[in-house]
Amino acid sequence: MAHFGADVIKIESRTSPDVVRLLGSAWLKDQEDLAPIASDTSPYVSEMNASKRSVGLELKTEQGKAAAMQILAECDVFLANFGARALADLGFDYASVKAVKPDIVYVQLPGFGSDPNMPYYPFVAWGPNQAPLVGMDDFTGHSDDPPAGIATVAPPDYMSALHAAIATLTGLEQRDLTGEGVHVDISQFETTLALLGPFVMDYDLTGTVPSRMGNRSMWGAPQGVYPCFGIENWIAISATDDEDWDALRGLAGNAIDDVFDDATRRIEQQDLLDEQIASWTIKYQVDDLVDRLQTLGVAAHAVSSNEDLLHDTHVMSRGWYQVAASKRLGRDVFSNCLVRLDQTPGRWTHAGPSMGQHTREVLQSYAGLSDAQIDELIDVEAAFESIAPDMVTTRPWDDWIHIFIPGVDDARDL
């Protein structure tokens, strides 16, 4: 939403910081003089918060809470991902926010919903362990292995966030058209589970409990990840229909047994088929084989590492990695917004903010506080501003990022 022009204000706490503030940067560990600004250096800050403003308010203090409510009275939308109980304890439940802003679009994303009578209401939830809870980790891995789990990323976080964006936009429409605000309760548990419909139905009808099946498809064969020439070079291929098969077979020739021209055999004897495909793919450079397959209309891609993505002309030509100004780091790199609108394409005003970077300006313009009132809030530790605002540094890539990301200046020319 910030990318498309909304003024997104992130309320941050020093006593209970956002987890991304705790992570810091790898290179900072050896630089004790920069320790005070560690919370502004995690790459996640820009990944998650580019173009947002950061306001430091301690919601557990009466004054901090009052200032937040003054800001909220001027806002269209309130979005919170605290646990439902924590949010209610802080006094930011729907009824309290509605009292200061009657037509607020209020969207909360607690792990298990905001109804205190429900069994898991007090439970703590994080995206990474919502995935196992809704069965996604059991679905991940090769069929003979223990669950591999979704260790590296947290899809439920992103799916909930997408649902929150849908709910927020819908809430704004409703408010504009009827004058009524709305309370949206997004339980990550329920939202993520909504992606499992067909499996729930199949279990209800037949008692089937589906589990992981590697990279295979339920709808045809072959589909998988196969080794290519070299070390840790893999190709992903989906050739699940007859047309795909004919193309793949034309390329592989006698390397694959002709019994597999029968689609049923391809599904029934996938182990053998995969073995034959693997002993064929391993002779190729991965990019060469991907090109040959895609030229014939077969879905295939190198299993890209980050290093590969950094050299990926397609990803770069689409401007997927963006660089924008950062108060603390001079500039920072982050991923673009995948939603592309052709007439109002959006923009990035800045990379992730320093913690409390915008406290003063937001309290002035939204809450109408004077400098003296803001100073007082800071004195009693109900609010805070950016720590050591003049302390700046650069990321290790600052001198050479222009080599990789198109349209970025060479730092030596700046």
Partner 1 sequence: MVGPYEGVTVMDTTGLTGAYATRLFAGLGAEVIHLEPPQGSALRRLTPFVESVDPPENSLWWNYLAMGTRSVVIDPEDTESLERLISQADVVFEDQLPEHSGIPAEIIGSSTIRTRILPFGLTGPKRGWKSSNLVAWAGSGILYTTGFVDRPPVAPAAPVQLACHAAGASALVGTLLALRSRRLSGVVQNVEISMQEAALTIAPETGVPMLLDDRVHRERTGNRRDLGRPFGLYPCSDGFVSIIVLMPRHWVAMAQWVAEVTGNESITEPVFEENAVRIEAKDLIDEWVEELTRQGTRLELFQEGQRRGIPITPVNTVDALVDDPHLEAADYWSSTELHDGQTVTVPGAPFRTNSQWWSTSRAPFLGEHTELYVN
Q: Among residue numbers 347 through 406, which ones bind partner 1 (CB under 8 A)?
A: 395-397, 401
For β-strands 299-302 and 182-185, DSSP reports them as: unpaired
Nearest to 77 by CA among 105, 49, 100, 52: 105
Minimum Å gap between C-beta 367 and partner 1 is 27
Nearest to 78 by CA among 182, 191, 187: 182
Cβ proximity to partner 1: between 60 and 301 the closer is 301
Q: Of these, 15, 36, 102, 173, which contacts partner 1 (CB under 8 A)?
A: 173
Residues in 21-80 at the binding interface with partner 1, rule: CB under 8 A: 22-23, 25-27, 29, 43-44, 46-48
Binding mask 189-218 for partner 1 (x = CB under 8 A): xxx-xxxxxxxxxxxxxx-xxxxxxxxxxx
Q: Which residues pair with 237 in a beta bridge?
A: 224, 300
Which stretch, 54-62, 227-235, 254-262, 353-361, contacts partner 1 (CB under 8 A)?
Answer: 227-235
Q: Of these, 8, 38, 75, 154, which contacts partner 1 (CB under 8 A)?
A: 154
Q: Of these, 139, 260, 280, 384, which contacts partner 1 (CB under 8 A)?
A: 139
Contacts 24+ apart (CB under 8 A), 163-171: 163/191, 164/79, 164/107, 164/109, 165/1, 167/107, 168/1, 168/77, 168/79, 168/105, 168/107, 171/77, 171/105, 171/106, 171/107
Which stretch, 225-233, 354-362, 368-376, 381-389, contacts partner 1 (CB under 8 A)?
Answer: 225-233
Minimum Å gap between C-beta 265 and partner 1 is 18
Minimum Å gap between C-beta 279 and partner 1 is 14
Size of site (CB under 8 A) for partner 1: 149
Cβ proximity to partner 1: between 32 and 307 the closer is 307
Alpha-helical segments (H) within 91-211:
94-100, 127-133, 155-178, 188-193, 197-206
For residue 155, the Cα-to-chain-centroid distance in whole angstroms is 7
| 134 is a contact residue toward partner 1 (CB under 8 A) | yes
Which stretch, 61-69, 74-82, 116-124, 362-370, contacts partner 1 (CB under 8 A)?
Answer: 116-124
End-to-end Cα spacing for the chain = 31
What is the rounded CA–CA span in Å between residue 298 and residue 292?
Answer: 9
Q: Of these, 64, 110, 113, 353, which contacts partner 1 (CB under 8 A)?
A: 113
Nearest to 222 by CA among 146, 278, 285, 294: 278
Could you identify the residue written with the tokens 């300006």? 361
Minimum Å gap between C-beta 376 and partner 1 is 30
Q: Of these, 2, 77, 182, 363, which contacts partner 1 (CB under 8 A)?
A: 182
CB within 8 Å of 342: residues ≥ 6 apart: none
Minimum Å gap between C-beta 368 and partner 1 is 27
Q: Of these, 116, 297, 389, 406, which contacts partner 1 (CB under 8 A)?
A: 297
Residues in 229-258 at the binding interface with partner 1, rule: CB under 8 A: 234-236, 238, 240
**Cβ neighbours, 10 Å, residue 321:** 19
Contact status, residue 12 vs residue 54, Cβ threshold 8 Å: yes
What is the rounded CA–CA span in Å between residue 222 and residue 124?
Answer: 41
Cβ proximity to partner 1: between 338 and 372 the closer is 338
Q: Of these, 33, 250, 253, 344, which contacts partner 1 (CB under 8 A)?
A: 344
**Cα separations in angstroms, 200 against 140, 194, 206, 210, 211:** 17, 10, 10, 10, 12
